[in-house]
Amino acid sequence: MSIIAVIPRFGVLGCLAGLSACIVHPPTIAHVHIGHAVTAVHVTPGHEGYLSVAELRANEAYDAAKSAHADADLRQLKVHVAAVVDATDSQDNFGVRQSVTMAVNHISFAATSADASANVIQFAPAFATDTAAVVERCNYIDLLGKDVASSASLKEASLLAEEILKLTRANVEGNDADDAGGSASSKYGLVQLRAEVQAMLARETPPYRTVDQWYLFNLVRLPNGRWVFDKLGRGGTIDGYK
């Protein structure tokens, strides 16, 4: 691989002009995958990391659920519940379920990279397990949302909306958020998952550093399965990486 393949575009000329004084150390492939989970990726709205998108969408769902719970009009309640469902489970708009799943995938990519630390390798399966409660709640919200959409009764829809509110709150804060002993992964929400990831990053040796956007947007997988940086810097617009 040429040196241009691993130097951000904005740094190429300066480094070539004084190569002896410019030593570029690209991040590990594992850390780039982690960066996609927590920092940035080219396919999301605003290029946010998947975990950040999940947090944003979970809060949107919680806000819409609070509105639905307060509604005294069935039509408006259904509109707000539909917004909850869209924020929770949407393939096109990176719902909570999809975003959390992609965060898990990218942590798993990191763990299976040749340069992954023992810390990351040990963390990946535990993180996947700990996200299961959020995914299960998302699936339940989707089912309850269908029931609300077909309901002809404000009383019935309001009871369903109350349950949806509890689920969306749990996806943000976790269950028993005020209970100091409530640390079981079955109670986890995005707050606890974020704390888990941050603790893992703090344990990394060598230390994890926020990955430069160039590397985040230009990692591609070759047909042979090898991960490399696209030397043409096409910003993730070529086939091979999602």
pLDDT digits (tens, 9 = 90+) for 73-89: 999 999 999 999 999 99
Sketch the domain layout of the chain as residue ranges: 1-26+220-242, 28-211
Alpha helices (runs of H) in the chain, residue ranges in sequence order: 9-17, 29-38, 50-70, 74-88, 96-111, 118-130, 132-150, 154-173, 190-203, 213-217
Q: Which residues neighbour 227 within 8 Å (Cβ) at sequence distance 6 or greater?
A: 29, 32, 113, 219, 220, 221
- Tokens 């691993």 found at: 6
Q: Tell how far CA 41 is from the center of its chain.
A: 10
The CA-atom distances, in angstroms, between 132 and each of 18, 137, 163, 166 are 51, 9, 19, 17
Helix (H) or strand (E) holding 228: strand 227-229
Contact 33, 107 (CB under 8 A): yes
pLDDT at residue 230 in the model: 80
Torsion, Cα 77 82 87 89, to 10 degrees, reads 140
pLDDT digits (tens, 9 = 90+) for 145-200: 999 999 999 999 999 999 999 999 999 999 864 444 445 767 899 999 999 999 99
pLDDT at residue 235 in the model: 61
Is the pTM higher than 0.75? The answer reads yes
Q: Tell how far CA 70 is from the center of its chain.
A: 30
pLDDT digits (tens, 9 = 90+) for 7-33: 333 343 334 444 444 445 789 999 999
